[in-house]
Amino acid sequence: MSLTGVLSYQGGFERHLERLAGLGVRTLPVRSVEALERVDALIIPGGESTTIGMLMERFGIMQALLARIATGLPVFGTCAGAILLAADIEGSEQPRLGALDITVRRNAYGRQIESFEADVSDAAWNGAAFHGVFIRAPQIVRVGAGVRTILRFESLPVLVREKNMLAATFHPELTGDDRIHRYFLEEVAGI
Amino acid sequence: MSDALWSERQKSTWRTKVGLAEMLKGGVIMDVTSPEQAKIAADAGAQAVMALERVPADIRTQGGVARMSDPQMIRGIQDVVTIPVMAKCRIGHFVEAQILEALGVDFVDESEVLTPADERYHVNKHEFKVPFVCGCRDLGEALRRIGEGAAMIRTKGEAGTGDIVEAVRHLRTVTDEIRRLGALPPEELMTVAKELGAPYDLVVEVARTGKLPVPNFSAGGVATPADAALMMQLGAEAVFVGSGVFKSADPARRARAIVDAVANFDNPHKLAEISRGLGEPMSGMSTSTMEDGQRIAGRGW
């Protein structure tokens, strides 16, 4: 049975692990290169992208993960995880994977008191709305030619995919709706 | 697509408040007293900083009334870091909390480290858009604070001492009481709620889920990487470090070591590496020789 990892240095890893376990998936918190080598898919959670990026570099995960993404490891980044996947981060030289051809703007909606919940609807996805929880959320301000926008909110992409990489600016792990996790596992990872 | 204006949309719900606390798991929140210190903390890998005028160790030695920090100093720190900035208000001082919210701080710590402003009541935290964290020594205190709207709980420990014993006591007490609740038949929960001085609904929820409804962090007395890893192994979900970093001989190295220790809290070989050659920790004071009047964990009701 395949193994789905959640990068668990810092941030919202626990809710992702719970959500995956709820889908009957075997999970592994990833905090070392050895653990990373064992997984068949990986979620990079929300949290502080600068802190997570720093820890990934310190413990050798950054290079190891980049190599695995290049050879097809399915990855799903939420919020900070999306920032870490992004090729360009406006006004920042912070450590990142840089594998996904998008430009992000950090804390684009403002500070914590500007965090919000809103319905994100999409006719292509059975027409049912997703409840988006946006916490100090980034915005995706540019998508590359090979990137497909799956969901938008107020005209900006909030869920995008490029090959084996999926990225969301909101937190599907904080609601009871598991459709996006299922999409990642079934459509992106083929698990 | 929403037709409502940005400013009309529902904001800052219970879910976004607790959600930010979720995003702060597995990391370290550091007390800082200047933009320079905030930079050092962020560069070391702190996931958030707590802006305050004096670290708890100095509040202890200098005495006097400890209050909310100067807004100008908080702004200065907000300007130099991208990680969340937290700040403390006095227990019950809801106007300090209003000011901190107006400044756009990301979390307010209604803290026993400052001199309490109200001897009977805490802030009604539900009224605020900004999330709150509060200290506790036991489950009843944790649930009272959550009942008032706290989106994150931390142990009180004994701030500014560098002595971890009180934080250990408080965390063990909370987890023992949670375990005990889980074993009780439903008819006993009302009496337990009365004994704990805790809201009945929250007691029922904890008995059923086996955990607090909000993240449970640790604070008060962390001085070494090993202290931080100890609290994580005991079940804390993240660690606050107050005086432990900037009262040590080499703050930048110690800050980084404590961050690395929390990220590797269950790996003794890595912890041994991380703990090597950090210079002198804060000197500290033992809580066992303290007079009752010197303790601050007793503040809060």
The predicted-structure confidence for B110-140, as pLDDT tens digits, reads as follows 999 999 999 999 999 999 999 999 999 999 9
Contact check, Cβ <8 Å, A118/B46:
no
Q: Does B82 touch chain A (CB under 8 A)?
A: yes
Structural tokens at position B157:
């420990």
Residue whose entry in the numeric block shows the structure tokens 């403390």: B88
Is the pLDDT assigned to residue B150 strictly greater than 70? yes
Say what the pLDDT of residue B51 is: 94
Which residues on chain A are in Cβ contact (under 8 Å) with B82? 50, 92, 106-107
Percent of chain B at pLDDT > 70 equals 96
Q: Does A57 touch chain B (CB under 8 A)?
A: no
Mean pLDDT for chain B overall: 93
**Which of A173, A181, A186, A187 does the annotation list as catalytic?**
A173
Top residue of B5, B8, B22 to mutate, by most chain A CBs within 10 Å, is: B22
Q: Does B259 touch chain A (CB under 8 A)?
A: yes
Contact check, Cβ <8 Å, A171/B10:
no
Say what the pLDDT of residue A84 is: 98
Indicate the class that CATH gives domain A3-188: alpha beta
Q: Does B268 touch chain A (CB under 8 A)?
A: no
Structural tokens at position B59:
């509040």
Percent of chain A at pLDDT > 70 equals 97
DSSP state of B138: S
Average pLDDT estimate for B101-116? 96
For residue B7, name the pLDDT band (cuts at 50, 70, 90): very low
The three-state secondary structure class of B90 is strand
Q: Are B184 and B192 in contact (CB under 8 A)?
A: yes
Q: Is B88 considered catalytic here? A: yes
Q: Does B11 touch chain A (CB under 8 A)?
A: yes
Is the pLDDT assigned to residue B149 strictly greater than 90? yes
Within 10 A of B137 (CB to CB), how many other CB atoms are there?
22
Say what the pLDDT of residue B6 is: 41
Contacting residues for B131 by C-beta, under 8 A, at least 6 apart = A112, B12, B16, B17, B18, B20, B21, B106, B107, B108, B151, B152
Top residue of A113, A139, A151, A169 to mutate, by most chain B CBs within 10 Å, is: A113
Mean pLDDT for chain A overall: 95
Which residues on chain B are in Cβ contact (under 8 Å) with A11? 22-27, 47
Q: Does A58 touch chain B (CB under 8 A)?
A: yes
Average pLDDT estimate for B18-47? 97
For residue B9, name the pLDDT band (cuts at 50, 70, 90): very low
pLDDT tens digits, one per residue of A7-47: 999 999 999 999 999 999 999 999 999 999 999 999 999 99
pLDDT tens digits, one per residue of A99-149: 999 999 999 999 999 999 998 877 666 667 888 999 999 999 999 999 999
Domain-wise residue ranges, chain A: 3-188
Average pLDDT estimate for B36-47? 97
Bridge-based pairing of strands A130-134 and A116-120 is antiparallel
Which residues on chain B are in Cβ contact (under 8 Å) with A155? 1
